[in-house]
Structure 1
């Protein structure tokens, strides 16, 4: 993205002379587009997960399973979901739970000496 013509392909038309404001506008525009695309993906993922969860009970009722038969399966599914969320939570980056706990451990180690 170093050439104004290359940037113009993303936004529309190129300026007649090199323009830093044009480059900033292109970066803002592409950033907004990427955020919208990610928001759509997240919304689709959340909607599909909750739709699948909502389909469990009618399908189980269709096959003649009651809540007492489904309870162990739902417990295992819930535990797997919690483990998955905790794994994502701990691995998400510098703001992760482990990053904060490492910082706390460093502070307590420094205060002991």
Structure 2
């Protein structure tokens, strides 16, 4: 887990102004003329240091994540199918498109798909 650390960077000397107080210049050229914009910055400065331990690649964790993702996709398909078959208002149309009714001869060698009305 990462460790967060906060500290005061100011020395505490009363002669200094509190917070941060410095200037920086931005130099640029426009139409062959050099310009400089001097900006004075003052206020509070927050420096947050975060330390932690980096992990290494693990093939077992990779395959575990891939397997979990595939499992979630299968479960999502089952849940969506159940909603469409039993809850949705067009469930009869979905059932007719999902299933085909077949008639098989006694010897089991020939099968004929029966067409039904889509009314």
- Asked whether the two chains share a fold, i.e. TM above 0.5, the reply is no
Higher strand share: 2
Query: TM-score if structure 1 supplies the norm length?
Result: 0.30
The structure with the largest alpha-carbon Rg is 2
